[in-house]
Amino acid sequence: MYRIISTDNNNLTVRIDDFNPSHTFLCGQCFRWNQEDEGTWSGVALGRFVRLKWDGELCTFFDMTEKEFIEKWVDYFDLNTDYGEIKKILAGKDEHLREAVSFGYGIRLLRQDLWEVMLSFIISQNNQIPRIKKIIETLSEHYGQKISGADNRYTFPDAFSLARANIEDLKICRPGYRLGYIMSAAEKVSKSPSLLGELKSIPSAEARKILLSFTGIGEKVADCILLYSGLDRNAFPIDRWVKRVMETLYFKKETDVKTIRAFSRDYFGELSGIAQQYLFYYARENKIGL
């Protein structure tokens, strides 16, 4: 939830409940936000360069009108969702979730651009975050559009631009074996311009099946795409950190992904997606299961 406090010289100050940019931007759901200094963050999202400053209570968005904030960024930051109530429900389930929620108290699930999320998590497979970020920025610099008024900032490249690119030229971003996946996804989306819109309008189970038909998209990546684009807040992506934390805290033994996924749907219910994010961030930062 949020409340607009003031507008001053085209800067907008907002009180945002249950938010901490470090938790939100570093919890593994996005790759184009970076910390400039204490409390100040900048990123490219929704085709726009954004800077904000967080003082622990208030968030100031630089060069932003109230109209733009309400029309675009309230949805992006999921500000109409009561995370205080969500945390209360999850923390009441067990001591493990209580600790995870307390640790990552400022996480909010972003509603990111579907195409950007799709390609970003194709790139993320078997990859480290610094390298993922480097690949995405290099792709954007060469195939995105320069953002006016922002030094060396570029929009995320659209599917048509990548589909027209020469495969040899694309190697400049050094994606390794993921290059074929990038090209395949770009070609598929560019040949079916309505596909992304259709994914947003159909039941999440059907959208998941379509995503799984893409070369290079498996169950974990499909769940990441659904969760981080806002298409399915019940999706429960299972990577090595989530698998380890679930095995360590809930199963007390090595457990297959199918069993973990079924348990999460039953135990976390409609809060599966955000529960996963609290557990993932808690596990990774505290090396749970190592």
Residue among 267, 265, 203 nearest 236 (CA) = 265
Is residue 268 scored above 70 in pLDDT? yes
Q: What average pLDDT does the chain have?
A: 95
Is residue 163 scored above 70 in pLDDT? yes
Domain 238-284: which CATH number of 3.20.20.70, 1.10.1670.10, 1.10.10.10, 1.10.3720.10: 1.10.1670.10
Span 64-79, mean pLDDT?
A: 97
pLDDT cut 70: percent of the chain above it: 100
The predicted pLDDT at position 166 comes to: 87
Question: Which pair of structure tokens corresponds to residue 20?
Answer: 């901490």
Q: Are 135 and 175 in contact (CB under 8 A)?
A: yes
Is residue 88 scored above 70 in pLDDT? yes
Q: pLDDT-based confidence at 168, cuts 50/70/90?
A: confident
End-to-end CA distance of the chain: 36
Phi, psi of 193 (to 5 degrees): -55, -25
Span 95-111, mean pLDDT?
A: 97
Residue among 20, 231, 276 nearest 111 (CA) = 231
The predicted pLDDT at position 243 comes to: 95
Instruction: Tell me the per-residue pLDDT of 7-50, one tens digit each, with 9 for 90 and over.
Output: 998 999 999 999 999 999 999 999 999 999 989 999 999 999 99
Is residue 281 scored above 80 in pLDDT? yes
Q: pLDDT-based confidence at 290, cuts 50/70/90?
A: low
Q: Is the dihedral of CA 22, 24, 28, 30 positive or negative?
A: negative
Span 143-163, mean pLDDT?
A: 93
Is residue 129 scored above 80 in pLDDT? yes
The predicted pLDDT at position 150 comes to: 84
Q: Cβ–Cβ contacts within 10 Å for residue 287, how many?
A: 9
State whether residue 237 is helix, strand or coil.
coil
Is residue 114 scored above 70 in pLDDT? yes
Residue, of 228 and 1, whose pLDDT is higher:
228
CATH number of 1-79: 3.30.310.260
Residue, of 59 and 176, whose pLDDT is higher:
59
DSSP string, 175-199: -TTHHHHHHHHHHHHHH-TTHHHHH
Span 92-110, mean pLDDT?
A: 97
238-284 shares the fold of 112-227: no
State whether residue 277 is helix, strand or coil.
helix
Is residue 226 scored above 70 in pLDDT? yes
The predicted pLDDT at position 9 comes to: 87
Domain chopping of the chain, boundaries: 1-79, 112-227, 238-284
Q: pLDDT-based confidence at 149, cuts 50/70/90?
A: confident
The predicted pLDDT at position 217 comes to: 97
Q: Which CATH class is domain 112-227?
A: mainly alpha
Q: pLDDT-based confidence at 250, cuts 50/70/90?
A: very high
